[in-house]
Amino acid sequence: MKLKRYHYITFLFCVLLIIANFILFFNTRFFFFLFGIIILIGVFPFFVDLIFTTEKEREKEEMFFEFLNDLKESVSIGIPISRSIVNISKRDYGALTHHVRKLANQITIGIPLSQAFDVFKEEVNNKIISRSVELMIQAEKAGGNIESIIEACLRNVSEIREVNKKRQVAVHGMIIQGYIIFLIFLVIMLVIQLKLIPMLASIPTSEGYGLSLQNINSINNIIFILVMVQGFFSGIIIGKLGEGKILRGLKHSFILMTISFILLQISNLLK
């Protein structure tokens, strides 16, 4: 992911907040809570970019299907592929519009179709689209039937879309189940932290009480680390099962870890 100006601004802002937190709240019960909130603020732009990038990639694949369909219709009536691309480039293809119009402009100024397609493939940077474009490049170089190649690409993209949709429907219940299982786990940890540990600490023994303050803090830290690690890997698994890519699971990890952090810190403040 390429860093942008607002990433640096957010980072600088968070550094200033961390310094202020150390100055104003160090050695108070609010320090760690505020520190975590600042970290979440710093990570949030990357989280938003990840979601935006994921949706943009999905839109590119959808629009490429429309592009191929329009190209096939144009080529099927006898218009050369180069001229067809120029003609249909005036249409709106969402996230793919800029790339299609650049492709058409390159063809218009005389750049060979195969070379223009190479640039298109590299800039779109999508495996499904790159595979189809590479087929058209090879067909154009070999002088084969470009219409049949476009039809084959269209079928391939259509099949991939259907498989992805069926997979999303099939695992939708698993995603919900993953969230529910984690939330149950989180509730159990909160009950342990708010009820069980204080109860054990209040039990009188021959040496005083059951748990010292140091032991309680150590147990709470272990619970915190355990929940955050569980939230991270649960999100990764949910993303892999639901969307087929580990990277897309990071958004689920961010959501689960944010919920966990806020609830755990609130429980600490309520004690």
The per-residue pLDDT for range 139-149, each reduced to its tens digit, is 767 666 777 88
Where is the domain boundary, 112, 144, 176? 144
**Residue-number span of the structural domain to which 168 is assigned:** 160-271
Q: Cβ(171)–Cβ(241) under 8 Å?
A: yes
Do 58 and 94 lie in one domain? The reply is yes
At 7-46, the pLDDT tens digits run 788 889 989 998 998 888 887 767 777 887 888 888 888 8
Closest to 221 (Cα-Cα) out of 213, 113, 52, 87: 213
Between CA 136 and CA 153 the distance in angstroms is: 8
Residue type, position 72, single letter? K
pLDDT (mean) for 57-65:
85
Residue 2 lies in a domain: yes
Do 107 and 199 lie in one domain? The reply is no
For the chain, the distance separating the N- and C-terminal CA atoms, rounded to the nearest angstrom, is 41
- Alpha-carbon separation of residue 125 from 28, 96, 118, 202, 226 (angstroms): 49, 11, 11, 61, 37
Residue 204 lies in a domain: yes
Do 12 and 129 lie in one domain? The reply is yes
Do 187 and 130 lie in one domain? The reply is no
Residue 211 lies in a domain: yes
| Tokens describing residue 140 | 């154009």
At 246-263, the pLDDT tens digits run 777 888 888 898 888 888
Between CA 203 and CA 212 the distance in angstroms is: 11
| Tokens describing residue 44 | 């949030």
Residue 164 lies in a domain: yes
Residue 154 lies in a domain: no
Do 164 and 139 lie in one domain? The reply is no
Which run of H or E residues covers position 156?
helix 146-191
**Per-residue confidence band for 102, with pLDDT thresholds at 50, 70 and 90:** very high
Do 27 and 76 lie in one domain? The reply is yes
Do 135 and 217 lie in one domain? The reply is no
| Tokens describing residue 137 | 């490049």
Count the alpha carbons within 13 Å of 214 in the hemisphere toward its beta carbon.
0
Q: Cβ(216)–Cβ(200) under 8 Å?
A: no
Q: Cβ(265)–Cβ(193) under 8 Å?
A: no
Residue type, position 91, single letter? R
Do 19 and 88 lie in one domain? The reply is yes
Residue 217 lies in a domain: yes
At 206-249, the pLDDT tens digits run 555 556 666 777 777 788 888 888 888 888 888 877 666 777 78
Task: Quote the pLDDT of residue 177.
Answer: 84
Residue 51 lies in a domain: yes
Do 122 and 12 lie in one domain? The reply is yes
Do 124 and 188 lie in one domain? The reply is no
**Can you give the pTM of this predicted structure?**
0.66
Do 246 and 175 lie in one domain? The reply is yes
Do 80 and 124 lie in one domain? The reply is yes
Residue 153 lies in a domain: no
Q: How many domains does the chain divide into?
A: 2
